[in-house]
Amino acid sequence: MKLVIRSGVLDGILQAAARHYPREFFCLLGGSLEGDSIRVDEIVYIPFQNSEHSVVFDPYSIPVNGRVVGSAHSHPFPSPPSLPDVAAFPRTGWGHLIVFPPFDRCSARAYDSSGREIPLVIID
């Protein structure tokens, strides 16, 4: 499995996360599954509440939209998914991004829904 994301979409996530910092940013990712690639081509914003450091949101608020393939959220520093993250991942698709300061293109890691790191491929 690998997560393939358009550079403009990644930049949008990084910019939004930087604006929210030090609050946690969260969004869903829209795209498609192609073979072993999770292709992300849009950001899907949903209403959510954040708490300390966990992804807390109402799964029933997620748009019923077959294009949701994963999620993205921010951490205050580079760190792997937390236990609440790993618990939430399977509810929101197959590929999950965690971004962190300084929010440049090297400030993102991709994980599968079990929390294992997967390659992140940035395309134009």
Q: Which is nearer to Zn ion, 50 or 82 (CB)?
A: 82
Q: How far is the CB of 24 from Zn ion (least distance, A)?
A: 7
110 is an interface residue for Zn ion by CB under 5 A: no
Q: How far is the CB of 1 from Zn ion (least distance, A)?
A: 19
Instruction: Let me know: does 26 contact 57? Beta carbons within 8 Å.
Output: yes
Q: Does residue 25 interact with Zn ion by CB under 5 A? A: no
How many contiguous H segments (helices) and E segments (strands) does the chain have? 2, 10
Could you tell me the smallest distance in angstroms from the CB atom of residue 124 to Zn ion?
28
88: alpha, beta or left? (left if phi > 0; alpha if psi -120 to 50): alpha
The secondary structure element, H or E, covering residue 53 is none
ω before 102 within 30° of 0 (cis)?
yes
Q: How far is the CB of 98 from Zn ion (least distance, A)?
A: 6
Residue 85 binds Zn ion, judged by CB under 5 A: yes
**Residue 60: other Cβ atoms inside 10 A:** 6
Question: By CB under 5 A, which span of 27-35, 76-84, 103-111, 114-122 interacts with Zn ion?
Answer: 76-84
Q: Which residues bind Zn ion (CB under 5 A)?
A: 82, 85
